[in-house]
A and B are shown apart, each in its own frame.
Chain A
Amino acid sequence: MDWSVIAEYYPRLLEGSWMTLKLVILSSILGLILAIPMALARVSESLAWNGLPRLYIFFFRGTPLLIQIFLFYYGLSQFEIVRESALWPYLREPYWCAIIVLGLHTAAYVAEILRGALQAIPRGEVEACRVMGMTKPTMYRRILLPRAFGIMMPAYGNEVILMLKGSALASTITLLDLTGMARTIIARTYTPEEIYIAAGVLYLLISWLFMLFFKLLDRLFNRHQMV
């Protein structure tokens, strides 16, 4: 083992870690934004509202992330219309493609987590809102959604860490995230063990960082709950 390569290349690995962080954070935000309306549609009784998010969730949870990335990145450019659309300046960038696909992917999982959380809110709380004369939108905004976020926090934290692991696939569409950077370094140094182990350690550190963050968030959201 030749550990000096790590000393030589760690600034580039850190650079890759930063890219990984950006991917995870931006796609998580996108995923959450998309998940909220989907979860609300899923808890509604109307079948019309229910169908579309259901199909969406079925597709994104039933196929591999790698296929989703290839389908989006290479697939969309098969169509002239896409290449001439106003969105192309973004879609031609692997960076935005990765964020969009990761965001769409995680949205399907988060929607289901959020739906579970909404359904887990005790009936009495909903009834209390009604008695106080709250309208449905107010009730969701002020009471139910914040409450659901509190309930789903541990599961959501897990999902973000799964996204951290999934973001490694961005390296297959030329992004220099932590995995992509490691592969590029190895292409030069031919030291796979050393560099992959170093990258693994960095991933562990990042995942601990996220765990800590979600533990704090969990405490923040549930501070009014009795232990």
Chain B
Amino acid sequence: MNHWVKAGALAIGMAASTFAMAADKIKIATEGAWAPFNFVNEQGQLAGFDVDIANALCAKMKVECEIVGQDWDGMIPALKVRKFDAIVASMSITEERLRQVDFTDHYYSGGLRFMGPEGKELDTSKVGLKGKVIGAQRSTVGGMYLEDNLADVVDIKLYDTQEAVYLDLQAGRLDGAIADELPAYDWLNGDNGKGFEFKGEAFAKNDKIGIAIRKKDELKEKFNQALKEIRADGTYEKINAKYFPFSIY
């Protein structure tokens, strides 16, 4: 029976540790599966453009920050229930999200773009996409775009992670995928992206990425002020250049 006792002790210990106290420092969430914006590096730490920006902002605000990982699907619900105080996870500012949370000014801009296997033509007009199987990550702007604009012509496949989209693209299950241009740029330039290319031009370029905070949180003004400062003093540019050879603001 000894292992019952141990399991019990374990369960009780774990339960006690869940009553985490809210500390004074700011907790910032990111996803960790959206390279090069946020990912887990070889040391097992969260890294990427989002993380660098978050750290730069915290340095400007002179507050202690803790970056935590959170699955994308639970991001906004967890923010609302104070699991953390801000989301710096390449989250687009959308009307639907604005009903739930507030956003700071944008800290970069993105667009959507189709991609598919090299050498296989993919006409990205609505007529050309008829009957194609197109994938995207669930609960992303790309996924919403598919559902809102192309639901009547394409066969939509929604995945839990962007990685799963790439996996099925390589498996040949998808004729194409729709994704944010910048992370896709990173993937296509890496080893795994060999044999795939962008199809058509970027669109929905008005995609502004901001930091999500709870409604009426005073953090919004602090973040905005700090954003202005890192834009002005060249910190932003330096971080940008680390990841992309062109400005993404």
A residues adjacent to B (C-beta < 8 A): 74, 77, 83, 88, 92, 94, 172, 174, 176, 183-184, 186-188, 190, 192
Contacts and interface: CB of A to CB of B under 8 A. Distances in A.
12 contacts: A77-B172, A83-B171, A88-B172, A92-B172, A92-B173, A94-B157, A176-B158, A183-B73, A184-B138, A187-B139, A188-B96, A190-B76
Contacts of A88: 172
Interface in B117-172: 135, 138-139, 143-144, 157-160, 167-168, 170-172
A77 B138 CA distance: 22
A183 B80 CA distance: 18
Contacts of B170: 77
A174 B159 contact: yes
B189 interface: no
How many residues of B sit at the interface, in one of the four size bands?
20 to 34
Given A77-B172, A92-B172, A188 B144 contact: yes
Contacts of A190: 76-77, 80, 100
Interface string B46-77: 00000000000000000000000000010011
B172 A83 contact: yes
Contacts of A83: 171-172
B73 A74 contact: no
B227 to A, nearest CB: 25
Chain A residues touching B, majority SS: helix
A184 B172 CA distance: 24
Interface string B74-86: 0011001000000
Interface of B: 73, 76-77, 80, 96, 100, 135, 138-139, 143-144, 157-160, 167-168, 170-173
Given A190-B76, A190-B77, A190-B100, A184 B158 contact: yes
Given A77-B173, A83-B172, A92-B173, A172 B160 contact: yes
B158 A174 contact: yes
B138 A192 contact: no
Residue among A83, A92, A190 with max Cβ neighbours from chain B (10 Å): A190
B168 to A, nearest CB: 8
A186 B168 CA distance: 24
A186 B73 CA distance: 8
Residue among A174, A183, A188, A192 with max Cβ neighbours from chain B (10 Å): A174
A190 B135 CA distance: 22
A92 B80 CA distance: 39
